[in-house]
Structure 1
């Protein structure tokens, strides 16, 4: 408990000191939270000028888990960017087309990234983004073994946004490849049997790769006010495949309709989703096969009020048809009220809703890449969620949010590791061997979440973003909410020293978690499975970045990752790289 409060106090102290220093700046300036450099057009209220490309020095952290040191949870709800807008005349000076970044780092890590964005057209934007990051280093496990833990990430995206009248039509094509090893093993030294060439006991040392490609077509009207009729849609298709031969097709179509009436506005989000996964082990059968699901959903609602006070009342409804189970229907309320006692300064909100979550194959694979490759998870039903809070501005430079929510959830998935005896004539006595891919168990859960967030910016010099979450869990059967933290926090600070030099730091903290190993009963024992609870230590991850602008087009950068020198584990048995660095050059063209 003392260690947890020590970490929380560190975040609060640094945040308080930084805000105090920033408040000395007397400039008055509106601040919008921005995301990492990416040529794109965001949602907004008005359209009147085209976007420009600039190299972003301080980027919002990426929270996807990799073997290298990266943050593992996303907690801050970043405000949306204002929209890219359309000018009536072309600019007289060139704003540039893109950016090239390249570098190398420790753990034999090459990196390259390209952004291209053509904004010379009056009504359209075309762009390409490509990235490569890989590592070929070793990692030392808790049991003392040094193991190969390479990974590779490749991605490419092409997008087109075309603006006509008051609507924006967007088309995205993307492909990404994630390759890695099942390199982990918990607690003890890796058993001798797993070190043999071509062992088939479990997936230890096996190579895996995820390949995902698809497209998205969307139409929306970002200028329409709430009391104006509007229509939009999203259509997504993705194909996902693995090196272990699993395949998935995913398609989703959603229509968004808004129609004003004499009293109030009618809202409807409705559509269909289809998923089909092959070469998995369905829960209803032990034979490898396939599973398909077709979802029909509708979320009608009625909205009344204005910008100062408004109320939305509706329902969320799903009808699910599955290939290996009976069809089922789910429904939850969808109610939210907002009141702004001081417009644009403070907003108070509260609501009741729920969600039926599709745990389709690729979603689970990206959530936990070390889950057993032939997994087939139940869908999770958040039967009801009560939430409320308030957000607003402490000043023109400081935004804040405080919120609380309480959810009642059925079939929450929890990951654990199996431990079994390996009976083989070459080994006497038979060794106990832990699988290094995760199985899944389920329980019903009530969850309380408390959240506080602050964003502060002082002119063009200092940005500060802080977030703290606290969680409490109550389960029907399990003694712990396996792998889920009691609290987490993050603090990001960006400081522009001068026109050439920019620095930033990110601190990520995750409270202690519990991980589970289930020892299966032996052939000579009459007792049942043995549940073994294990502690995952508090995570402290410090990352420091710097960028030096040599000319208007040429710059150099460096980043120090996991400066806390902690080999923390996102998933039990899988430590991340300890302190590592990446350095390189950037060229804007």
Structure 2
């Protein structure tokens, strides 16, 4: 308790010192490039809306596509570098409009609809609505030969407001998401007969699940402020998350961002609080079903010195974790970063050391692996140490590159596995072994090496190309493998403007081998007999998606999309294959 008191006193002192010098200057929005510009609808391919700025002929920036339509892409526990690609204008400049409507229909009984609308009546305020629906009612073939229903439904509604206040931007977003699906998977073998019976209650096979998440995000920032300018901003997030299986979560995060020039260098501070409460989950202490909550106080003070060509940041990250039925914990990690650009805009070299506390709250795990057991227990992770470095720059005025590497030491990393047990019933003799087709969670310490290479070619006239490749190496403390984590992955995006009216693009996703685990209870009456561990190898995943868009008029266009064109029914999770080749086509209207 004395050590914790010292930590609390130190952080409180640092916060008070910087806050007392910081004038309140509205802040926080580094995601939006331009908020006073009216919405200009441009019709693109079927699965994304390009709302990024036009590419300057002299620069090769890295705008990011926001993908809405997905052909059941790889869903994994590792973080894939977001796909970078450049936008392609498919038509000459057109009159500014209010929005865009899309509608389509595809194989696997797949309807799709999406609408974007902006209110442009105010010079300093933009109000908009975005809504999307995508569903499928088809079936898939499991590895054991069974054809099973694998429906899914994705619904999204977003209301957003952007308002300029002098040089700052206030952003308010209200979102509601509803995702529904089935626990349709079963690994390796044919589905056992007991699971095919109506209303079976052995496990979740064939059971419907739904995630509903509604929340608000408030953000204040001055995106044009320079590093040597005083600044104050904040972000507030709150959402409510619920499942069909009756788990409920309330989550909130409040973060303040402060920056103040000092006699030498600049003082930086990010500080705030995060809270999560979840009910109807397994409590690790007594394995009972109940409610738990956690509160995390954090402060990240730092000192920045230098300029755009060469700079160093020195700081400390601190967290205080208060959790139900557990002792208060204090976590510390260094924050050191150095940047040097020996050749301006051509080469930048960077390196650093840091760490991060990872709050494994309920919805984070649920979205990471939707087929996890609904009442799974929770445990937070800590990246105690991360050493990273690399360089990036330009090979030409239209080609940029990045090469980087990092080595991280993590504690309590969540890994997923399945259980297998004998089912004893008088109707079945001998008793069959049945796999629980939802994943359980185990936690283990892990050291991970990651190497990354990226290249982007951005041409404003004809072709855009981006490639990202990652290599991973893992060292586990207790487990023999990093279950469900790949040794490599890659993404390739290519866009080509055939004519003024026709544009085509392709996205390729590659995932390396992954190891999966089933733990079988021995069924022996001898207590010393250990469970039997069965390891399986998931084949590499290859997913090719082709898209085309043809502009009929300034307002109308048609699109087509071929998903999983490699005809590989790979498993996004062990026992859960994706839909094979499928197509989607439709029409878009700009107004």
Alignment TM-score, normalising by the size of structure 1 = 0.88
The SS at the match of 1:366 is helix
Q: Does the 8 Å contact 2:74/2:572 carry over to 1? A: no
Q: Does the 8 Å contact 1:63/1:70 carry over to 2? A: no
Q: Does the 8 Å contact 2:69/2:134 carry over to 1? A: no
Aligned partner of 1:57 in structure 2 is 44
Q: Does the 8 Å contact 1:518/1:531 carry over to 2? A: yes
1:554 aligns with 2:577: no
Provide the alpha-carbon RMSD of the alignment: 2.1
2:240, 2:430 → 1: CA distance? 46
For structure 2, list consecutive stretches of 5 or more residues without a partner in the other structure.
1-28, 49-63, 88-93
1:167, 1:80 → 2: CA distance? 28
CA drift at 1:459: 3.1
Aligned partner of 1:476 in structure 2 is 477
CA drift at 1:500: 0.5
2:202, 2:312 → 1: CA distance? 57
CA drift at 1:68: 3.0
2:492, 2:80 → 1: CA distance? 11
Q: Does the 8 Å contact 1:67/1:151 carry over to 2? A: no
Which residue of 54, 63, 68 maps to 2:72?
68
Q: Does the 8 Å contact 2:163/2:170 carry over to 1? A: yes
Q: How many residues align?
A: 539
1:274, 1:476 → 2: CA distance? 30
1:542 aligns with 2:544: yes
Aligned pairs for 1:33-48 within 5 A: 43=31
Residues 365, 218 of structure 1: CA spacing in aligned structure 2 closer, same or farther, 3 A cutoff? same
CA drift at 1:49: 6.0
1:579, 1:255 → 2: CA distance? 47
CA drift at 1:561: 0.2
CA drift at 1:57: 2.1
2:281, 2:294 → 1: CA distance? 14
1:310, 1:585 → 2: CA distance? 50
Q: Does the 8 Å contact 1:321/1:327 carry over to 2? A: yes
Q: Does the 8 Å contact 1:65/1:71 carry over to 2? A: no
1:76, 1:408 → 2: CA distance? 20
The SS at the match of 2:283 is coil
1:332, 1:131 → 2: CA distance? 41
1:374, 1:575 → 2: CA distance? 23
1:79, 1:538 → 2: CA distance? 22
CA drift at 1:120: 3.8
The SS at the match of 1:193 is helix
Aligned partner of 1:367 in structure 2 is 368
Q: Does the 8 Å contact 2:35/2:162 carry over to 1? A: no
Q: Does the 8 Å contact 1:44/1:81 carry over to 2? A: no
CA drift at 1:54: 2.7
1:403-432 deviations in Å (ceiling 9; x for gaps): 000000000111000001111122111110
1:401, 1:69 → 2: CA distance? 25
Aligned partner of 2:10 in structure 1 is none
Aligned pairs for 1:75-474 within 5 A: 75-76=80-81, 94-474=95-475
1:62, 1:529 → 2: CA distance? 44
Aligned partner of 2:580 in structure 1 is 578
CA drift at 1:69: 4.4
Q: Does the 8 Å contact 2:85/2:493 carry over to 1? A: no
Q: Does the 8 Å contact 1:542/1:563 carry over to 2? A: yes
CA drift at 1:63: 7.3
CA drift at 1:52: 3.4
Aligned partner of 1:493 in structure 2 is 494
1:537-580 deviations in Å (ceiling 9; x for gaps): 00111000000000000000000000000010111000000000
Residues 61, 487 of structure 1: CA spacing in aligned structure 2 closer, same or farther, 3 A cutoff? farther
Q: Does the 8 Å contact 2:73/2:572 carry over to 1? A: no
1:177, 1:48 → 2: CA distance? 28
CA drift at 1:221: 0.8
Residues 81, 119 of structure 1: CA spacing in aligned structure 2 closer, same or farther, 3 A cutoff? farther
1:194, 1:492 → 2: CA distance? 41
Aligned partner of 1:530 in structure 2 is 532
CA drift at 1:376: 2.0
Q: Does the 8 Å contact 1:69/1:578 carry over to 2? A: no
The SS at the match of 2:366 is helix
Q: Does the 8 Å contact 2:131/2:158 carry over to 1? A: yes
Residues 108, 179 of structure 1: CA spacing in aligned structure 2 closer, same or farther, 3 A cutoff? same
The SS at the match of 2:365 is helix
Residues 513, 489 of structure 1: CA spacing in aligned structure 2 closer, same or farther, 3 A cutoff? same
Q: Does the 8 Å contact 2:501/2:552 carry over to 1? A: yes
Greater relative CO, 1 or 2 (CA 8 Å, sep 6+): 2
2:306, 2:84 → 1: CA distance? 23
CA drift at 1:327: 1.0
Q: Does the 8 Å contact 1:97/1:118 carry over to 2? A: yes
2:313, 2:233 → 1: CA distance? 20
Q: Does the 8 Å contact 1:178/1:210 carry over to 2? A: yes
Deviation larger for 60-69 or 362-371: 60-69
1:372-411 deviations in Å (ceiling 9; x for gaps): 0001221110000000000111111011110000000000
1:304, 1:504 → 2: CA distance? 44
2:261, 2:86 → 1: CA distance? 27
Q: Does the 8 Å contact 1:191/1:433 carry over to 2? A: yes
1:512 aligns with 2:499: no
2:79, 2:439 → 1: CA distance? 22
CA drift at 1:275: 0.3
1:463, 1:66 → 2: CA distance? 21
Q: Does the 8 Å contact 1:43/1:81 carry over to 2? A: no
Deviation larger for 54-63 or 106-115: 54-63
